[in-house]
């Protein structure tokens, strides 16, 4: 059974601080996606990681993928209040194009 | 970018009635669409894969007679919640698969919030 776990589940941090969200998955996959969800809204695509060693950055967020360790990270640099949201990783169940979503990390950035 | 719409965005219905939710890919064709449900403060759970011109594939534990899926065209998939009950109240999100070989990704709709009274 494919499991996708995120750590931490909840994160409260001060503005200006750095932090990393971890996404572990239990089976082979070369594709991993990060999404942001605001309350009451659908998903906003953040990053698409399609190979081992992939690193992508957008603004204060940077995502990386290590397929050998079955681990992806979402690093937040100098957090600002606008980053408060729930972040999900999703793993492409190899060969099926089905996404299995992680447990989600609810981030709150305190001013 | 690829845009996916859902209709309605909100629906309130009485217990026992059926509700149809539409998912459309607006500027691209999608042979495959997916339906998810999300309970408050929880993750998204894949319900089924909708394939144009063929029967949907349901995930384990999802009742296919309860959640009818029809993918009649390359731009439209529908989810019908039959004989809805309060426990079916949830946020339903569809997605459509697009992109070239090796670059496929899913584009998500805005979601439909269903409340069954």
Measured in angstroms, the CA of B34 and the nearest CA of chain A are apart by: 8
Task: Please check whether residue A109 is in contact with residue A21, taking contact to mean a CB–CB distance below 8 angstroms.
Answer: no
pLDDT of residue B54: 86
Structure confidence at residue B105 as a pLDDT band (50, 70, 90): confident
pLDDT of residue B61: 94
Torsion, CA A78, CA A75, CA B108, CA B37, rounded to 10: -110
Q: Tell me: the pLDDT tens digits for B21-76?
A: 999 999 888 889 999 999 999 999 999 999 888 889 999 999 999 999 999 899 99
Per-residue pLDDT tens, chain A, 111 aa: give them.
789 999 999 999 999 999 999 999 998 777 899 999 999 999 999 999 988 889 999 999 999 999 999 999 999 999 999 999 999 999 987 667 789 999 999 999 998
B107 Cβ under 8 Å from any chain A Cβ: yes
A88/B43 CB distance under 8 A: yes
Task: Please check whether residue B60 is in contact with residue B46, taking contact to mean a CB–CB distance below 8 angstroms.
Answer: no
State the Cα–Cα distance between residues B20 and B8, nearest whole angstrom: 9
Burial of A34 (C-beta count, 10 Å sphere; 0-12/13-18/19+): buried
* Residues in chain A closer than 8 A to B105 (CB atoms): 33, 45, 48
Q: Rg (Cα) of chain A, in Å, rounded?
A: 13
pLDDT of residue A94: 66
How many CB pairs below 8 A link A and B?
45
A42/B45 CB distance under 8 A: no
pLDDT of residue A95: 65
Q: Average pLDDT for residues B80-90, to the nearest whole number?
A: 97
B 30-49 residues inside an 8 A Cβ radius of A:
32, 34, 36, 41-46, 49
B111 Cβ under 8 Å from any chain A Cβ: yes
- The half-sphere exposure of B104 on its side-chain side, counting CA atoms within 13 A, is 21
B101 Cβ under 8 Å from any chain A Cβ: no
A42/B93 CB distance under 8 A: yes
């Amino acid at each position: 059974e494919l499991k996708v776990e995120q750590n931490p589940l909840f994160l409260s941090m001060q503005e200006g601080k750095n932090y990393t969200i971890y996404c572990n998955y239990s089976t082979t996959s070369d594709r991993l996606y990060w999404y942001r969800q605001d309350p009451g809204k659908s998903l906003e695509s953040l990053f698409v990681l399609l190979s081992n060693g992939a690193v992508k950055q957008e603004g204060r967020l940077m995502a990386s993928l290590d397929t050998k360790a079955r681990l992806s990270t979402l690093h937040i640099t100098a957090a600002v209040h606008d980053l408060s949201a729930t972040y999900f990783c999703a793993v492409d169940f190899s060969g099926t194009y089905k996404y299995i979503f992680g447990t989600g990390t609810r981030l709150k950035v305190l001013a | 970018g690829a845009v996916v719409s859902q209709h309605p965005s909100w629906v309130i219905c009485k217990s026992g009635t059926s509700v149809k939710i539409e998912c459309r890919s607006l500027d691209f064709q999608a042979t495959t669409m997916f339906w998810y449900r999300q309970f408050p403060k929880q993750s998204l759970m894949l319900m089924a894969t909708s394939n144009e011109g063929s029967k949907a594939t349901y995930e384990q534990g999802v009742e296919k007679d309860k959640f009818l899926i029809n993918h009649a065209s390359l731009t439209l998939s529908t989810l019908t919640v039959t004989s809805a009950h309060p426990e079916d109240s949830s946020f339903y999100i569809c997605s459509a698969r697009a992109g070239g070989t090796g670059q496929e990704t899913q584009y998500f709709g805005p979601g439909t919030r269903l409340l069954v009274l």
